[in-house]
C-alpha cells in the first residue's frame, strides 16, 4: 500500500454581501474542485495549501484554521494508494482568479453557501461545509 499526502485550501472572500470561495475547474471544465496538490519537501501542509491556492486559483490568502482531512483510496499501476488531503481555511488577501496556472482550466468565485452542492467531490463538499461552520462560529 502506498500513502500519499496533499494539501488544499478554501480561500474565502466577501463580496456582494456574501462569502465566496475560490474554486477551480479541471478535466475540461467538467469538475469543480478546491485548489490542492502535493506537499513539497520542507513545506508544511498549511504552506502547501497556501501555495496551491495561489498557483491554481491565482489568489493569496491568510491562514485562518485547519478544516480537516479528506481520505480516499485509488488505484495506480495496479497498486492501492491511500490519499490524505489536509484542507485549510484562508481569508482572501490579494490576487485574481484570472491568474490561475496551466494545471487548471479556469478558476472562479463560488458562493460559499452553494459550494457544498456545486463542488464535484464529496470530501471537498464536506470541507466547504466545515468552512461555513467555522466562519459562522466567528473564527
pLDDT at residue 139, rounded to an integer: 60
3-state class percentages of the chain: helix first, strand second, coil last, to nearest 5 = 25, 50, 25
Report how many domains make up the chain: 1
Q: What is the CATH number of the domain that holds 35?
A: 3.90.79.10
What are 3's three cell numbers?
Answer: 500513502
Phi, psi (deg, nearest 5) at residue 28? 70, 20
pLDDT at residue 52, rounded to an integer: 98
pLDDT at residue 120, rounded to an integer: 97
Each of the 139 residues of the chain gets a pLDDT tens digit; together they read 899 999 999 999 999 899 999 999 999 999 999 999 999 999 999 999 999 999 999 999 999 999 999 999 999 999 999 999 999 999 999 999 999 999 999 999 999 999 999 999 999 999 999 999 999 997 6
Question: pTM of the full predicted structure?
Answer: 0.94
The residue range of the domain holding 69 is 2-136
**In whole angstroms, what is the distance from residue 71 CA to residue 64 CA?**
22
Burial class (CB in 10 A: 0-12, 13-18, 19+), 31: middle
Amino acid at each position: 500500500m502506498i500513502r500519499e499526502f496533499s494539501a488544499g485550501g478554501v480561500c474565502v472572500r466577501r463580496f456582494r454581501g456574501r462569502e465566496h470561495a475560490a474554486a477551480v475547474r479541471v478535466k475540461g471544465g467538467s469538475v469543480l474542485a478546491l485548489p490542492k496538490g502535493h506537499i513539497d519537501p520542507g513545506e508544511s501542509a498549511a504552506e502547501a495549501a497556501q501555495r496551491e491556492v495561489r498557483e491554481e486559483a491565482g489568489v493569496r490568502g491568510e491562514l485562518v484554521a485547519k478544516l480537516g482531512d479528506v481520505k480516499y483510496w485509488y488505484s495506480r499501476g495496479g497498486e492501492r494508494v491511500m490519499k490524505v488531503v489536509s484542507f485549510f481555511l484562508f481569508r482572501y488577501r490579494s490576487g485574481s482568479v484570472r491568474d490561475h496556472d496551466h494545471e487548471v482550466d479556469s478558476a472562479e468565485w463560488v458562493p460559499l453557501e452553494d459550494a457544498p452542492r456545486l463542488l464535484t467531490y464529496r470530501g471537498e463538499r464536506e470541507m466547504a461545509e466545515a468552512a461555513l461552520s467555522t466562519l459562522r462560529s466567528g473564527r
